[in-house]
Every structure is written in C-alpha cells, then in structure tokens.
Structure 1
C-alpha cells in the first residue's frame, strides 16, 4: 500500500494534486512510500541495478518495476487506456520522445516546470534536443532519459574517406561500390513506415527546412524542404542503392551491411554492436562511424530515445519526482550507460572515461556531435497523424509518383487540416 502524509504547503506552492510527504534518506520516519515505475523490456538487467541503487540512497521509497510490451505502440495504447481512466496504477514511466505533446495536451502527465525550478535543475546540462522533445506549449512534461541519433556507418577496409556532405556521399558511394564485395554504395531506410520520416528529417533539416515551427505551424512547404527532399529522392533513385531500397527498414540495412554488401549505411547506434560482432557480421573490425552528411544548412541527425514522465493521477507525486530526478541525473544516467549501454543525455557524462569505455559509439566524437545536432520529430499532440501523412507523401515522391514540390504541398494541406480538426 502507498502511504504518506499530505503536504499542504507543497500543494499550495505547486498546485499539484495527490502529493504525499516522505522523509529523505537521512530521515527518521519508518513509513515507506511505494511507487510503480513502468518501462519496456530490459534484457540488460540495468533497471534492477538502477532501482536497487536508488532505494539504497532513498530507503523511504520502494520502487516496483512494471514491465510493459517491448513494442512502443502497444505500450502507448496501454498508457492511454490507463491515463484516460485517471488510473494511478503507474506513477513513473518511460516515454517515447514523440509522446510528450500528445500526453501533455491530454492532461495525462504532470508538468514539471515548478519542480525543476524549485530544485534548481540545470536543464542546460542536457543536449538541447532532448529537452526540446519533452517540451510542449511552453511546459516541460518530461525529463531526458537516454538518447539515440542517426549515424553514418562505413567500411574502413574499403575507404577512409568520410563524406561531409550529401553531395560527397553521392560521389564516394558511386566511386567505392563494387570494392571488397560491396555491391552497393549506400543503404538507408526508405520503406513506408516511421523510418522514412526519420530519414527525411535528416535531409530536410540539413538544407534548412522544417516540418512544424516552434509554434506548431505547418512550414514544410518551403524551398529548403523541397531541396532536402529532392536530395533524398536523388539518392533513393541512384544506381548505388539497392533496387528494392523502398522496402528497406532498419533490420534490412543492418543485415545487408553486416553481410558486406555496402560501403556506407545510415542507421541508429545499436547497429555498431552487431556490425562488430564476429559471430554475425562479415565486416567486424572494419566499421567506422560518422555524423550524418550535411546539406547547405549543416548536419542534422534525427533524434530517438526515451524520456521520463510522471502520471498526473499518481498518488505519490513527490516520491515519483525524486525518482525521476535521480534517474535523469548524473548518477542514474551513468548506471544506465555502464549497465545498459544507454547513451546519456547529459553532455558532461561524455567526459567520463568509464562511460566512453563502454562502447565505440559512446566514445565517438561524431556521436556526441550528432546529439548536439539532433532534431526531434515534429512536436505535436497529433504526431501519429503527422507521421502518417509524411510517410505516404514522401513514399510517393521517392517512387516517382509525385514531385518534391507536389509532396510538400500535399503534406502542407493535409497537416493543416489535421491540426485544424483537433483545434476546433
């Protein structure tokens, strides 16, 4: 059972419902508060270590871990069911970075601004995009957890040349394809699913385009976005990518690259592990990583990863915040990095040799730079609808059914209609 004493002063100062008091780790109270932390499947054991260390420092708080489905879509739907019914059964949960606006607008999660201000949390210590992803309509609904960002992989046994721009990628992919059994110059994700959105963002933003502006207005119909999308179309239709690249997802990129079929490939950091595993990869030991190539406006890597949120209907808000604050701080993130291989969102942790020794990715200056240049996907309460619109129209453009100009115009019209329907 969850227990505690009502903190009238905190309620008055913060306007939070359902807060419970508890003593700090050096307090004398025998009462314990219990909170439930929900997260996806963890095969590393890092969560158990994280919780054990937290409870050691905060003996007045017990954390019960609830495992959610590994599929983020299934987890999302279960959370929506819970929170729409105002259920307090989960206090803290890991959230995909694209959920913040949806859950914030729906009043499912607690805004954290006053708690952040009260406890003087330095949000500037985090990579900017990881903070931005948890912010909507002027409020911070999530604390950064761990991050992903798109990376460029390349075969070091074929070339030591790293393309700095998309134009250079086209040139080097063409020049090096066919060497050392690499049939293709480049691999990407171009199937009609979420991956086509993350790839498109990297092209569009690297040429100075945007999808939505800071106020949530649709701005995708711009010369910059058209230029970026045209570059994506050029590469997807080149002779140095597979003929079936429009069916490629992350797993297809990974398996093909690990078979030695390509010189360059775009994928997430996780691929570095399998690409360098001699049991599954023919190119192990010959893999380099770099930032995504730049367009005329610079580099842009799509941001991935997870955040920490608090259920607005939690009965133990103060204890939940203590846990979220600790997990998102240096101690919690270091444990997640050392035990689970998770990329920290606190910039200073990349100066910690214990962390950078965990993997080549965490030690990579290019990965650090990718997080500095990371771009969140459109922050909107109707992100699934926006994503679907992008998937359909970009897929049609890559297939040659419509031009880049027609694609951005169609996306603009559909996105504006979708946003207007929600705001009515």
Structure 2
C-alpha cells in the first residue's frame, strides 16, 4: 500500500521512470544478457527498477545488475504489476492453480495465506539458514511458515501504524481512546479538522482500525480459518472498537469526510496544507513528511504509539511484502531465493528506507540507526500481522463496507456487524 501510490499508469511508469539502459545487461523487460541460456520470469511491484522515483529506480537497477553479474548464465524476464494489487494478486493465484504463474513473484503478506492453502508455493526452506529464519520478527516467521516449520516465501519488508501529531497544537501524546477524542476536539477548536484516518473502501481502512480490536483481545478467525469476529465471544469486543471510531466522528473529534479517505497520500496532503494536526499513518510517512514540509514545519511533527482502550493495551498492525516461487524447477526456485537474499533482504530495505524483517539488519545499515527507526524496531517485536487465513480478504472487504455504513450513519453498529459477519460466513462456505 505505502509505495503503490499516485495515479501513473504502468505504461507511463515504464516509459518515463525506468533508468537509462546503457549496456547489454539491462532492458525495459530484461536484466541480464539476452543470450543467457537460463530465464527466470519475475513479476514484481514498483519495489524494483520500475519504481516511479527515478533515483529509486536507478538504485534498484544497480542492485539487479550487481546480482546478475554473479549469475551470468541467467536473465530475468521482468513483469511489472499494475497498481491494482488486489486484482493482480487474485489473477496470479488463478495462474498458479493453472500452472502458468511466473517463476518468482512479489506476494502481498495479507494474501499469502491464500497461496499457502492452495499449495502452489515452492519450498524455500533449503535456501535460508536457521539463523536467518530465527532472526525474523515472530509475526513474520509465523506468516511464511506452515505448522511443520517449512517456509514458503520470504517476507522482506514490513511496516507499522502510529499516531502523528503536531506538538504545537497537541503537546502530549494521547495514550488512550479518550485522550485522543479530547485531542481531536482541541485540534478542532483551533480550526483544524481533528484526527484523520482511512475510512473509505480501502484495505488500509481495515488494517489501520484492526489494532483497536486486537487491543481488546478480539479475533477475526479461529484456528481453522473460520470467521469468528461476530460470535458471542468476539461481538462485544468488535462493537466496542467500532464504537470508538464512531464516537470520534459523532463528537466532531474526526470529520465525517474520513469515509472518503482511502489513501495515505490524502493524510500527507492534509498535514502539508495545515488542515490537520492528528492522523493515523504508517511509519514510512515520517520520511515523506520530512521531504514534503519545510524544516521548521516538519520539526513540529512527532509520532507515538496508537492510543489504546487503556494505556497498557496498545498493539500495532504490521504488513509488508514477500517473495515466493511458483516454479517446480529446483534451479529456478533457488535463483528466486538468491534474488530475495542478495537484492531485497537488506539492500532494498536501505534503498527505500523500508523496515527490515530481521532484527539484526537494523544494526547493519546506518539508515536504520536513527532514534525513530530504533523506536519502530522495538514496536515490531510485538507487532501483529493480519491472519493468513484465505478468508481474510473477504473479511476486510466486509469491514470496509461496514465502516462506511457506520461512520456515515447509514446503519447502526449492531446491524452493520451482523451483516458483515453473515456475509463473511457465507463466503467462507464457498471456499
């Protein structure tokens, strides 16, 4: 989500953002010699030489060229995903079932469970050491593993959610939901909009909110992957977390327009325009704010953990991207694993300042030695990822619909939850 932003069409990106190609090792759709006998079909996001930022694109090209020089008998046939990631991932799953998927590809962590349950992923276990695997944050290790400890993908970058605030308007960091409501109202009294967050039809709207439900001990699915968020045990917790958001809007501590916000860029834009002093966002937005705002304006911004129902119950959601192989050729599987290790596991993290999934990499790369990144690293130890159950995307879809209905006042929280839960159960039966 964080780096698949903007409205550039993929054709525009490929024509204008890719760095210049100056030798036989690089072309718009190839890395490596055209005459190389071995070919790896690679499908990637814009975390690649296809990045819209020319400097980042050049950085990736350099990493890829250095990698392919170590494997001169190989060429990478590049395929770039569009920005419609949900459709891209669904299409790739169908291709994997049919045996026509790329050899190696980017898989969003929140849909990885769908690929695992369909048994279309190659076994990566032989290509990563026990030390590398044990160095992963717990939620990452759980996400890529099966019950026997085998790994079927490599989760290379991650993120987390925090509360951003302007310290000249909200001096103290809100610790609880009640604190945030007061801060939002105080911000509004000074001509601001109050606290902003994603509340539209967007995966980010679900994910940014979920930590509040998790704070209360709520579960989305049981051990079999069946939805349980509306059962007798979880329903009260879900409603409490949902009413927290509703209370922000009803009180004016958050504007009603949050139901139209479905992009983290909108939050950055409000901060830059000076119309808000509080918003829920991702760790990556700190660097974006620094690049966007004048130094004196940026100095007024700080971040803190998301408020919780109480100060001692505060979790954060963690996401990120993985790589997986769909090939049955051992050489191609190994080549995919080598690419992840040499290009993405560390070097690409540092290039884009995207948080590593291995704790030791925070010490290896100077860019992660800042106090801000040390704080992010500490929070990741207790991070919670979305469940790897195949039903999760539909649960998220129903929560997005429900959120819009509740925050706009179209439905009561109780009725909206009942509808979302029943729809998720019906979808589960069709899996």
CA RMSD of aligned residues (A): 3.0
Pair 1:386 & 2:395 matched: yes
The structure 2 residue matched to 1:338, chosen from 334, 337, 350, is 350
Structure 1 match to 2:7: none
**TM-score of the aligned structures, taking structure 1 as reference length:** 0.79
The structure 1 residue matched to 2:183, chosen from 166, 169, 172, is 172
* Within-5 A mapping of 1:2-81: 33-41=38-46, 42=51, 43=53, 44-45=56-57, 46-58=59-71, 61-81=74-94
1:322–1:112: structure 2 CA closer, same or farther, 3 Å change rule?
Answer: closer
Structure 1 match to 2:32: none
1:280 Cα offset (Å) = 8.1
1:314 Cα offset (Å) = 4.8
1:314–1:259: structure 2 CA closer, same or farther, 3 Å change rule?
Answer: farther
Kindly indicate whether the alpha-carbon contact (under 8 Å) linking 1:173 and 1:185 is maintained by their aligned counterparts in 2.
yes
1:369 Cα offset (Å) = 3.6
| Residues in 1 aligned to 2:169 and 2:78: alpha-carbon distance in whole angstroms | 46
| Residues in 2 aligned to 1:374 and 1:402: alpha-carbon distance in whole angstroms | 32
Structure 2 match to 1:93: 105
* Within-5 A mapping of 1:16-415: 33-41=38-46, 42=51, 43=53, 44-45=56-57, 46-58=59-71, 61-87=74-100, 90-113=102-125, 115=126, 119-135=129-145, 140-179=151-190, 182-221=191-230, 222=234, 223-249=236-262, 250-278=264-292, 283-296=297-310, 298-314=313-329, 316-323=331-338, 326-327=341-342, 332-352=344-364, 354-356=366-368, 363-415=372-424
1:161–1:147: structure 2 CA closer, same or farther, 3 Å change rule?
Answer: same
Count residues in correspondence: 381
1:280–1:230: structure 2 CA closer, same or farther, 3 Å change rule?
Answer: same
Kindly indicate whether the alpha-carbon contact (under 8 Å) linking 2:199 and 2:403 is maintained by their aligned counterparts in 1.
no
1:203 Cα offset (Å) = 1.6
1:309–1:322: structure 2 CA closer, same or farther, 3 Å change rule?
Answer: closer
Kindly indicate whether the alpha-carbon contact (under 8 Å) linking 1:35 and 1:63 is maintained by their aligned counterparts in 2.
yes
| Residues in 1 aligned to 2:307 and 2:105: alpha-carbon distance in whole angstroms | 34
SS of residue in 2 equivalent to 1:306: strand
Per-residue deviation, residues 83-135 of structure 1 (Å, max 9, x unmatched)? 233126x221111112212122233322434x268x43542311222233334
Kindly indicate whether the alpha-carbon contact (under 8 Å) linking 1:143 and 1:324 is maintained by their aligned counterparts in 2.
no
1:61 Cα offset (Å) = 4.8
| Residues in 2 aligned to 1:52 and 1:91: alpha-carbon distance in whole angstroms | 19
**TM-score of the aligned structures, taking structure 2 as reference length:** 0.78
Unaligned runs of 5+ in 1: 1-30
1:57 Cα offset (Å) = 4.7
Kindly indicate whether the alpha-carbon contact (under 8 Å) linking 1:132 and 1:376 is maintained by their aligned counterparts in 2.
no
| Residues in 1 aligned to 2:192 and 2:410: alpha-carbon distance in whole angstroms | 27
| Residues in 2 aligned to 1:239 and 1:92: alpha-carbon distance in whole angstroms | 48
| Residues in 2 aligned to 1:255 and 1:243: alpha-carbon distance in whole angstroms | 17
